[in-house]
Amino acid sequence: MDCVSNIGDGRLSPSGFSATISGLLGSQAVDKKFSYKSSQPFVHGYCLDVPEPSALSTAQSYRITAVCLGNICRSPIAEIILVDRFERAGLAQLVQVDSAGTGDWHVGGRADRRTIAVLRRHGYDIDHSPRQITADWFAGINLLLAMDSTNFRDLQRMAPSSSVKSVHMSRSHLRMLRSFDPVLSALPAPHPELDLPDPYYGTPEDFELVLALVERAADGVVDFVRQDLAL
């Protein structure tokens, strides 16, 4: 029996492996409520029967989706950097990273040319076509990473919440990317200091800043997923 938190930013101990696969398994029968304390605020949730970590296959990978407004600047940068970090950590077979926007203005186009340029300057390759996230994505996502407070609130409103049994992703899976920056980890989400600034109307230097801020948070995301997978 494993447990999934449903509010706050509480992280589960190794017994919380189910948090990693709640989005993979679809609806599960809820067994009973639980509560626990961690380094984060008091957390409540639900327990359900899930397979052991060894049951994960490459077809059932842990899915992370980075979300910004148009999916041409910040979230593609986050996606590419996180893919790199999970490859370095030896977790590429278990973790799938993608990205999307809350808006549809750029769907089917390309990432911003400045996004492509800054990633290539730092040794990252990118081949990206913008997409828009919709409510039906939530069942397959384990960790949603909002780039700013507006994205965070938009995703909260979008998340299915009709009943406990039908909710595939609890609030504990929705995080602001910069909350994984060790310097900012104590801030509650959403918080303006956790916002990853939108460089769209800025200069190449603004894209450099975004890349640097994402890199500062990336290792924290990897550590979080390791804990979620009980590795």
In-domain check, residue 166: yes
pLDDT tens digit sequence for 64-93: 999 999 999 999 999 999 999 999 999 999
Give the span between the Cα atoms of 178 and 119, in whole angstroms: 19
In-domain check, residue 88: yes
Residue 164 has what pLDDT? 26
Where b means 16+ CB within 10 Å and e means fewer, 161-191 reads eeeeeebbbbbbbbbbbbbbbeebeebebbe
In-domain check, residue 31: no
Residue 104 has pLDDT above 60, yes or no: yes
Q: Does residue 10 or residue 203 have the better pLDDT?
A: 203
pLDDT band at 173 (very low <50, low <70, confident <90, very high): confident
The runs of H, that is alpha helices, within 68-197 are 74-88, 113-121, 149-158
The two structure tokens encoding residue 15: 């017994």
Give the span between the Cα atoms of 43 and 158, in whole angstroms: 22
The runs of H, that is alpha helices, within 112-230 are 113-121, 149-158, 204-228
What's the rounded mean pLDDT across residues 22-30? Answer: 36
Annotated catalytic residue within 98, 112, 195, 198 = 198
**Beta carbons within 8 Å of 223's beta carbon, 6+ residues apart:** 180
Q: Is 10 helix (H, G, I), strand (E, B) or coil?
A: coil
In-domain check, residue 4: no
Residue 22 has pLDDT above 50, yes or no: no
Annotated catalytic residue within 3, 9, 73, 74 = 74
In-domain check, residue 66: yes
Cα–Cα separations (whole angstroms), residue 72 to 69, 104, 152, 195: 8, 11, 17, 17
**Which residue, 229, 230, 225, 211, is CA-closest to 65?**
225
Range of the domain at 87: 57-228
110 is catalytic: no
Annotated catalytic residue within 68, 84, 114, 171 = 68
In-domain check, residue 144: yes
Q: Is 134 helix (H, G, I), strand (E, B) or coil?
A: coil
Residue 223 has what pLDDT? 97
In-domain check, residue 187: yes
Backbone torsions φ then ψ of 116, nearest 5 degrees = -60, -45
Give the span between the Cα atoms of 131 and 143, in whole angstroms: 17
Count structural domains, the chain. Answer: 1
Q: Looking at this protein, which amino acid is placed at residue 131?
A: R
3 is catalytic: no
Give the span between the Cα atoms of 137 and 159, in whole angstroms: 9
Q: Does residue 230 or residue 134 have the better pLDDT?
A: 134
Residue 139 has what pLDDT? 87
Q: What is the mean pLDDT of the chain?
A: 77
pLDDT band at 160 (very low <50, low <70, confident <90, very high): confident
CATH for 100: 3.40.50.2300
* CA dihedral over 205, 210, 211, 215, signed as positive or negative: positive
pLDDT band at 196 (very low <50, low <70, confident <90, very high): very high
